Structure 1
Amino acid sequence: MKSVFPFLLFTTISILSAQTNSYEISFDNAVHHEAVVKGTFPNLKMDTVSFRMSRSSPGRYALHEFAKNVYDFKATDSKGKVLEVLRPDPYQWQIIGHDGSVSISYTLFANRGGGTYSQVDETHAHLNIPATFMYAPTLSDRKIQVDFKVRKDLNWKVATQLPLVSGTTYSAPNLYYFMDSPTEISNHSVREFEVENNGRKQKIRFVLHHNGTEEELDAYFENVKKVVLAEKEVYGELPEFDYGTYTFLACYIPNASGDGMEHRNSTILTSTRSLANGGMEGNIGTVSHEFFHAWNVERIRPKSLEPFNFEEANMSGALWFAEGFTSYYTNLILCRAGIITPEKYIEGISGTFNYVWNSPALQYFNPIEMSYQAPFVDAATSVDPVNRENTFISYYSYGSVLGLALDLSLRKEKLNLDDFMKLVWEQYGKTEKSYTIKNLQQALAEYAGNDFADTFFNKYIYKSEMPDYSALLNSVGVILKQDMEAPYFGVAVSLDGDGHGEIRSNPKMGTPAYISELDKGDVITDINGNGFPDGQQFSAYIEKLKIGDTLKITFERFGFEKQTTLVLESNPDYSLFLAEKEGLKPSKKQLRSRQEWLKTKKK
């Protein structure tokens, strides 16, 4: 009997083709940062088709209004007839009068090379998909094909997590996957290695667009490999990456904007630092942070971010965990991988610790509420002044120091944060079942007991109390110490063009500057009748004074001369360092706990 399978296969392919939206993008005017985008949308059943530019982007929580960079929009039907276009709002183009198929074209201006926007110039086409391509929300389940018309005269190649169809055409199973697939088109270099994972090999691909040498990339890639393997050890396995590959898309070029942005099977890494000029050490932290997101946030996913909304801001109360715990592991992984020393890691915690510990914002918001602020602070823009110095703590930093506290608290119970993260991975990451904050508390109770979990969440998550860091750090032979003799002014002051000192930020509540009623924008012209200490850093001038010294300050505000008196107080900042640096000898128990924490070899 004659087989019917070839006919059925051909019919299936024809149906899929009719249900596929296709795009092409070209870059003939790259020198002026323009791309031309064309799209075809067949087999339309609705009378009116709405096309939109996204207002948000995966991994970001604020609005970005990508429609502002679109112009010269046109729409035609399958016969080339020009169609009527309505504009119901700034983000939307409505097409009417089509014949079942619509083709669109428009010009995009793109000149910010980071994780959120796109950049087109003669060095590359760096594409964040929501910032680049219009979409039709009613067609979001359709398959997509996109042809990237590379500049062959510039030796451009395509790098993306999207699977290759042929040539420079790639596909996505649906709109969401397409939107989550940044693409780097440039004359880049590639390094790859394979990792054994549950009996299967996963490919890790590092794409680098830079102006450096292949030897520099080789050396850097060795550290990338160390990071990947150290993070795999935290969870016990890699995620099962789609198509078996994870891709780092790195641009270390002068025209980039420093950023990092996680995606399901790839990440954007951008920096103005070349590998030769500080990037070898300065850029690897972003590699560590973003790859950790392959587990924590991409697959261990807050329910509040599901589904991601491309038309509105995206708010979650779990960013202290999703971003903050990832931040905790960022430098810890570098230490475990041998990229930085234990001393550098420990001392590097100081800045984050002081920022959180000394913040007046603790009286206003707990970590959940700080996370809710993301749409206002996550690369968000506004023109009116805000009081973030006194009301906001970054959920990256807040969550990071809470991650430190939880890890060291668990270790005192002969447990650890790695194994808790493994449990959360098993319950919510591998299953891709989104979690709530209550789910995290329940998981911690399952791992460490109800009393432990209730204490941690009731004190430090639902409230904004601070753990006993001195005791926790002491358990691993780390000293937390204040310099009680260091004087403190309370706000940053820098030279203006006239040799005076301008206050650049809002003074924090309770500081000497705040108490003396100095404010942002005030220009200090005289201290104790001696003029402003021109010719030296203001902080260096203050360091030479003593606690309790009274400063009679003359300053200008709104064009008027004013005076105030300020009394220097003790600097509230702490330093973290290994006990050995103070000449102290940690006990065997402290050293063993530190070695288990940092996974360093016994001496």
Structure 2
Amino acid sequence: MKPVHICYSIRPSHPEAHLFEVRCTVREADPAGQCFALPAWIPGSYLIRDFARHVVAIRAESAGKPVALEKIDKHTWRAAPLGKAQALTVISEIYAWDLSVRGAHLDQTHAFFNGSSVFLRALGHEHRPCLVDIQRPLGTAFQDWRVATALPRALGERGAARQHGFGLYRAASYDELIDHPVEMGTFTLAAFTACGVPHEIAISGRHDCDLTRLTTDLTRICEWQIRFFGEPAPMRRYLFLVTAVGDAYGGLEHRASTALLCARDDLPYPGMKGLPERYRTFLGLCSHEYFHAWNVKRIRPAAFTAYNLDSENYTTLLWAFEGFTSYYDDLTLLRCGLIKAKKWLELVAKTIDRVQREPGRQRQTLAQSSFDAWTKYYRPDENTPNAVVNYYAKGALVALALDLTLRAETDSRVSLDDVMRTLWERHGERDDYRGPGVGDEDIRLIAENLSGLDLRRFFADAVHGTPELALASLLKPFGIVLKRTAASATPTLGARTSTEGNDVRLATVYEGSPAQVAGLSAGDLLLAIDGLRVTPLGLERLLCRRKSGDTIRVHAFRRDELMEFSVQLGPPASDSHKLNRKVRVNPLRKRWLQGHRASPDAHSASIDPPLPHDTT
């Protein structure tokens, strides 16, 4: 490790007021005026979040004397010239009341932060090694608090932290510093080993989690993914940071950890039988974020090889880095034996439903959706379903379509698995190799090179166009039939509603729908249909007695104005899909679902043994 040049300290100074005190010391500050900046966003969540808005006080000092600070833009400060290079410290108070995986949260029960929301970066020194002193809050009430983070301890330094303790940690650069979230508190801790790599789970919040069940299931997920890309794993240790609350869901990936937010009911409880849907969803989230340890953290789009933390970093490839990860998250659960094929096919069908329900898929391409994530996907409004395609969901279906295409055309000699492993070999960042960022055409070129197929039309339509994916025909060689049926027999307004107590409001009016043609708009408060009051439970009853083509009279408030509309009802929504296995035995399907190839000498042998139950 190079000599330390930047020193930080962070302490929950006023937990009851949600305030951290954060210090940043530059040992040789720019004598002409050192600049400091807080990131505008956090990698993995593509929205300008302006973390600097949470800075409530900031000052600087050198040699015990105050130094003037000038704010030169929304997140950058410049210290007054010192005349010569000497140590300069900036002390900031940061408000932390964002209970999410992206920011910082502090109260008397725990502290959590991502470095991007609390640590100023000393401009011009971003590649210098850092020391971080993580300090306990003052007072006897916090004597039982511990620290959970994948940030390496500063072994060999005076004051180095003990395992799970307060004290000194180190990072090789600012980029590494902000890629290790930190939890402080009286969390529950469990450990397991996957392919020789130590893993931990730290759970904050009240819960009754069966830690044995959770570690057993996560071991299977992590070992499968490590073996999928190939041992050794790229991380020396890994940490799942879980915050359990009443109702929440979210995750954010990091190089050796993930921050997860879940409902406490999502966690397994003692004596739980089977795999309830809520727990299955949580395992899928864990699988998704763990897969990101390769796909986006170490295999990066070219635009992410060096993050610009001051502004948007545009790429057209989020459909691959999020969509492909979304394809493999639940597929991992299948291949490691946690769910069966029938359940996985149900999950794929739900993804198809999700994409087909939104007209935006016919307007926006996946490449455009990736590029516009900063202004559209992460800033949804009432018209988002009409204008935006979800690059997670449709990206997962493109991964499915590409996998099926490669397998069918090469008789399972080549698959998307091989594409992912080749991306890792050529573009992955490891201790001894930092591959180049993935370019716009690299995924297609790798798939073509491995398979010998011409895939230009596939990518033109699936990624850069808006035609529907031919999933039914692609699934047919695998003995799977895709069926589409009406979700219900009730004629439709063509709108999504929300409830407010006993009131019903239009949340989204779909493009070209009966509601839109009649003039209804998002935000309208539905009052009555044909003179009868609309309620959350009564809306379905009022519509189910009608037929498609019937005209109804709708009264609604728009703001404070009463309006009347004549709506000709449309046919029932046809957005329910099912994937049925047509035949019991199908070699292509078996190799696909179990992750096998046509022969051991085709690139490499099978990555895992046959599953303990029938998944074909």
- TM-score normalised to structure 2 length: 0.86
Shift of residue 585 of structure 1?
4.6
Change (3 A) 1:66 1:208: same
Once the two structures are overlaid, the 10-residue window that deviates more, 327-336 or 284-293, is 327-336
Deviation at 1:48, TM superposition (A): 0.3
> Does the aligned pair in 2 maintain the 1:83–1:96 contact within 8 Å?
yes
Q: Which residue of the other structure, out of 136, 141, 153, is the alignment partner of 1:153?
A: 141
The 1:222–1:542 alpha-carbon spacing in structure 2 relative to 1, beyond 3 Å, is farther
| Residue 202 (structure 2) aligned to one of 207, 210, 217 | 207
- Taking a change above 3 Å as real, the CA distance of residues 276 and 300 of structure 1, as seen in their structure-2 partners, is closer
Q: SS state of the match for residue 492, structure 1? A: strand
How far apart, CA to CA, are the structure 2 residues paired with 1:264 and 1:118? 19
**C-alpha RMSD of matched pairs (Å):** 2.6
Q: Decide whether aligned partners of structure 1 residues 238 and 351 sit closer, same or farther in structure 2, where only a CA change above 3 A counts.
A: farther
> Which stretch of structure 1 is more off in the superposition, 60-69 or 417-426?
417-426
**Alpha-carbon offset, residue 261 of structure 1:** 0.8
Deviation at 1:545, TM superposition (A): 4.0
When the two structures are aligned, how many residues end up with a matched partner? Answer: 568
Q: Are residues 1:433 and 2:436 paired? A: yes
Could you tell me whether the CA contact under 8 Å between 1:56 and 1:309 is conserved in 2? no
- The 1:540/1:597 distance shift into structure 2, 3 A limit, reads farther
Mapped to 2, the partners of 1:436 and 1:310 lie a distance apart of: 20
Match of 1:246 among 238, 249, 258: 238
Q: Cα gap change, 1:48/1:22 in structure 2, threshold over 3 Å: closer, same or farther?
A: same
SS of the residue 1:114 aligns to? coil
**Aligned letter for 1:514?**
Q
Tell me the distance in 1 between the aligned counterparts of 2:453 and 2:588: 27
CA drift at 1:586? 4.5
- Residue pair 2:59, 2:91 contacting (<8 A) in 1 also: yes
Of residues 37, 41, 45, the one that matches 1:60 is 45
Aligned to 2:405: 409
How far did 1:70 drift? 0.7
Three-state SS of the structure 1 residue aligned to 2:21 is strand
Aligned to 1:447: 450
Quote the Cα distance in structure 2 between the aligned partners of 1:289 and 1:349.
Answer: 15
Give the whole-Å Cα distance in 2 for the aligned partners of 1:398 and 1:483: 20
Q: Compute the displacement of 1:118 (Å).
A: 0.5
In structure 2, relative to structure 1, the CA distance for the partners of 1:193 and 1:221 (3 Å cut) is closer
Q: Kindly report which structure 2 residues correspond to 1:259-298, keeping only aligned pairs within 5 A, or say none.
A: 259-274=250-265, 275=267, 280-298=279-297
Q: Which string of whole-angstrom CA distances, capped at 9 and with x for unpartnered residues, describes residues 227-284 of structure 1?
A: 112223432335321xx21222222234x96321111121111223342688633422
Matches within 5 A, 1:166-205: 166-167=160-161, 168-196=167-195, 201-205=196-200
Q: Does structure 1 conserve the Cα–Cα contact (< 8 Å) formed by 2:528 and 2:554?
A: yes
Separation of aligned partners in 2, 1:289 and 1:367: 20
CA deviation string 1:417-460 (max 9, x = no partner): 21221122212125532110211111011112242x22321221
Match of 1:69 in 2: 54
**Secondary structure of the equivalent of 1:564?**
strand
Query: Secondary structure of 1:437's match?
Result: coil
Structure 1 Cα separation of the partners of residues 374 and 458 of structure 2: 26
1:552 maps onto 2:553 in alignment: yes
**Which SS does the other structure have where 2:441 is aligned?**
helix
- The letter for the 1-side match of 2:98 is R
Aligned residues with identical type, % of pairs? 25
Report the Cα offset of residue 378 of structure 1: 5.6
Q: Is 2:460 the counterpart of 1:458?
A: yes
Map of 2:363 onto structure 1: 364
The alignment status of 1:81 with 2:81, answered yes or no, reads: no
5+ residue gaps, structure 1, are 1-12
Consecutive unaligned residues in structure 2, runs of 5 or more: 155-159, 162-166, 270-275, 597-609
- SS of the aligned residue for 2:533 comes to coil
Kept after mapping to 2: 8 A contact 1:273/1:283: no
- Do 2:529 and 2:542's aligned partners in 1 also have CA atoms closer than 8 Å? no
Distance in 2 of aligned mates of 1:379 and 1:257: 17
Three-state SS of the structure 2 residue aligned to 1:524 is: strand
> 1: CA distance between counterparts of 2:377 and 2:107?
26
Q: In the alignment, residue 488 of structure 1 is paired with which amino acid?
A: T
Q: Which amino acid aligns with 2:117?
A: A
Distance (whole Å) between structure 1 residues aligned to residue 536 and residue 175 of structure 2 = 55
- TM normalised by structure 1 equals 0.88
Paired residue type of 1:455: R
Look up the match of 1:51.
36
